[in-house]
């Protein structure tokens, strides 16, 4: 009874292919369309309909799109608001996560619950007072509001790293403690290097959110000097909405680093994603 049924399942599996291909076309097509539009002339865009193959590959669109806005400056600003938050988040959350995982003392359980509870608080609640705070610190219209808070840890990544450290073997630091090593040194020399995969995952997640971050730069930055790429693209959409080809070129350029990072650090990507959805952790 069970043998023929097993064969039946196997044969039915192949029926999934048409569905898979149809879905893939649906998910991929906007992507291809974006790229092809970025390579066309406006006139060609207007008459090309659904086609994705450009008649003439106008790479000059990219050169033009990048000169419409001060691309280099925006890129540097975006990199600054991405690299520093990665550094800050990884270091602070690793240290705090290590403390929660390996230094069980009185009050640590309560504090950890406090950390978790902050995840429920929507950013909108603290948005306005934070703006006032940074205004009083003289940090408006600078990149600091996007960078500074990351050095004080953030709940989700602390949680993620704590789980990672808690799973490491119990006796790991014993020898070091007997040798009189300080807890800070144990973190620095043992736990920090050991957690490279988890730190990579955190780094990738912070990259994605900082690189694409829009609301914070929008609130804090006024002058062109400090604008980030997302602000530049939004402004571009506002002023040159009809230059579709250039807009698409700019959108492709902004997305490209994320795609490159995805293919370069796929394991870190997946680890972070699967972690964020797992039930027991």
189-194 long-range contacts (CB < 8 A, ≥24 apart) are 191/94, 191/98, 191/102, 191/165, 192/94, 192/98, 194/168
DSSP 198-260: HHHHHHHHHHHHHHT--HHHHHH--SGGG--HHHHHHHHHHH-TT-HHHHHHHHHHHHHHHHH
Q: Quick one: which of 53, 57, 60, 133 contacts another protein (CB under 8 A)?
A: 133
Nearer to another protein, 16 or 63 (CB): 16
Minimum CB distance to another protein, residue 177 (Å) = 9
Site string for another protein, 219-258 (x = CB under 8 A): x----------x--xx-xx---x--x--xx-xx--xx--x
Q: Is 208 in the site for another protein (CB under 8 A)?
A: yes
Find the length of the chain: 281
Q: Which stretch binds another protein (CB under 8 A): 30-38, 53-61, 71-79, 188-196?
A: 30-38
Nearer to another protein, 41 or 212 (CB): 212
Contacts of 212 (CB under 8 A, 6+ apart): 230, 258
What number of other Cβ atoms are within 10 A of residue 77's Cβ? 22
Q: Is 86 in the site for another protein (CB under 8 A)?
A: no
Minimum CB distance to another protein, residue 203 (Å) = 16
Q: Is 24 in the site for another protein (CB under 8 A)?
A: yes
Footprint on residues 148-177 left by another protein (CB under 8 A): 148-149, 151-153, 158, 167
Please give the Cα distance from 203 to 103 (Å, whole number): 24
Q: Which stretch binds another protein (CB under 8 A): 63-71, 102-110, 168-176, 198-206?
A: 102-110
Q: Is 60 in the site for another protein (CB under 8 A)?
A: no
Q: Rg of the Cα trace of the chain?
A: 24
Please give the Cα distance from 118 to 126 (Å, whole number): 11
Nearer to another protein, 9 or 56 (CB): 9
Is 92 in contact with 150 (CB distance < 8 Å)? yes
Please give the helix or strand (H or E) that residue 169 lies within, else none: none
- Cα-to-chain-centroid distance, residue 257: 11
Q: Is 114 in the site for another protein (CB under 8 A)?
A: yes
Q: Is 92 in the site for another protein (CB under 8 A)?
A: yes
Q: Quick one: which of 4, 122, 169, 171 contacts another protein (CB under 8 A)?
A: 122
Q: Which stretch binds another protein (CB under 8 A): 59-67, 71-79, 134-142, 198-206?
A: 134-142
């Amino acid at each position: 009874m069970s043998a023929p049924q097993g064969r039946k399942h196997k044969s039915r599996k192949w029926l999934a292919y048409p569905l898979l291909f149809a879905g893939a076309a649906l998910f991929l097509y906007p992507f291809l369309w974006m790229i092809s539009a970025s390579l066309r002339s406006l006139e060609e865009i207007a008459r090309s309909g659904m086609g994705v193959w450009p008649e003439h590959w106008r790479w000059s669109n990219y050169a033009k799109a990048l000169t419409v806005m001060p691309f280099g400056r925006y890129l540097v600003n975006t990199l600054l608001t991405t690299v520093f938050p990665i550094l800050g988040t990884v270091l602070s959350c690793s240290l705090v996560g290590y403390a929660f995982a390996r230094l069980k003392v009185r009050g640590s359980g309560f504090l950890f619950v406090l950390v978790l509870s902050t995840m429920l608080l929507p950013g909108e609640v603290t948005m306005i007072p934070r703006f006032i705070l940074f205004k009083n610190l003289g940090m408006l219209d600078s990149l600091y509001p996007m960078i500074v808070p990351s050095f004080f840890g953030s709940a989700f990544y602390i949680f993620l790293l704590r789980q990672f450290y808690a799973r490491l073997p119990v006796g790991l630091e014993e020898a070091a403690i007997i040798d009189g090593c300080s807890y800070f040194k144990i973190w620095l020399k043992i736990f920090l290097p050991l957690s490279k995969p988890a730190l990579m995952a955190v780094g990738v997640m912070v990259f994605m959110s900082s690189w694409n971050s829009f609301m914070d730069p929008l609130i804090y930055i006024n002058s062109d000097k400090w604008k980030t790429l997302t602000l530049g693209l939004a402004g571009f959409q506002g002023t040159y909405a009809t230059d579709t080809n250039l807009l698409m070129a700019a959108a492709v350029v902004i997305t490209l680093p994320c795609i490159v990072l995805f293919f370069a650090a796929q394991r870190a990507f997946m680890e972070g994603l699967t972690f964020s959805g797992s039930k027991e952790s």
